[in-house]
Every structure is written in C-alpha cells, then in structure tokens.
Structure 1
C-alpha cells in the first residue's frame, strides 16, 4: 500500500480491519474524526503512537501538550504544515 491508496481508502465507511492502530488513527483524523483518532493513540506507549499523539494536539492547537508529546516521541516541534506531517506519518507507518 502507498499514500495514494491510503487516500483512496478515506471514501470507505471504516478503515480496514487489518491495519495497525496508529494507521487507523491517522485514517480517522483524515476523515475529520479527531476524537476517534485521539482515543486510539491515547494511552499507547510506543514512539510512533506518541508522534501521532503529538501531531493530533498540534492540529488541535494545543501547542503546549503537542510539545510534550513530541519530546516523548523523540521529535522536535515541526515547522512543516499539518498536511505534510500527516503524509509523513502515514508513509512512515506504511514503510515499516
């Protein structure tokens, strides 16, 4: 799967069952369901989930909380757009 296929999947009602939790989280975010996206990664303790968590709080406009989660993920606060970061996250997960 690549990023374009991920984008095409957004027309479906739900993300594919066999996707990882963090990829599903990004799918919900891309479908305007921030709360569902956050619920998935909230409480997850791996670096990629922390990065997604940081991205979500940045998108929400809570930079203080986002900075905390970027530090937890070992990332610096990004200067790129939210759209660029979302794509980077999706592609990172797809290439694992």
Structure 2
C-alpha cells in the first residue's frame, strides 16, 4: 500500500471494506468509524501487540467499559486517554499510519 495520511484514511470510509494493507489495528479503527464496533473489536483483539492493545483500549472506553479499557491501556503501555473519543481516534489513526 502506498503511504496514506489521515485525510485519505477518512476518505476511504466510503468504501465497502478497508483499504488493502492496513494493520488489524487500523482496520479496527476503520470499522469503528463505520459504526461496526464488533468488527472493530475483533480486529483489535487479533493484533496481539501494543498497537492492537491501544485500539482495544479505545474501543472499550468508547463502549463505556472503563475497567476493561484501563486494563488495555496498561497492556499498551499508555496512560488512560483524557481527551474526547474523536481526538483519541484521530490520534491513534495518525500514529498508526506513520
């Protein structure tokens, strides 16, 4: 996949499926933006590393399951996010696209 920025990532949300070559964590954020929390969660859960854990944390925070979110933030080696969910989503997408 060629380099993608957050604007191109957002633009891809009109497609039926995530762009080719995205990590599972990015696919999770893509599905989340499309309103499919369950598919997003499955993607994050299947990427067993700090990036997958960070997306997993975000998704449980969005769901309102803060104890579970805190567990996943710790697994990701990150503090619990304090900004809006939209800010966290954009920050994760931007970082994972780099």
TM-score, normalization: structure 1?
A: 0.94
Structure 1 ranges of 4+ moved more than 3 A:
none
Give a deviation string over 1:2-52, Cα, whole Å, max 9, x none: 111111000001111221111111100000000000011214321010000
Could you say what secondary structure the match of 2:14 adopts? Answer: coil
Whether 1:5 aligns to 2:8 is: yes
Residue in 2 that maps onto 1:69: 72
Match of 2:82 among 66, 79, 82: 79
**2:25–2:47 Cα contact (<8 Å) kept:** no
TM-score, normalization: structure 2?
A: 0.92
Unaligned segments of structure 1, at least 5 residues: none
Aligned equivalents of 1:33 and 1:15: distance in 2?
A: 12
1:58: Cα distance to partner? 0.1
Match of 1:35 among 11, 34, 38: 38
Unaligned segments of structure 2, at least 5 residues: none
Aligned residues between the structures: 95
Whether 1:20 aligns to 2:23 is: yes
Cα pair distance change 1:43/1:2, threshold 3 Å: closer
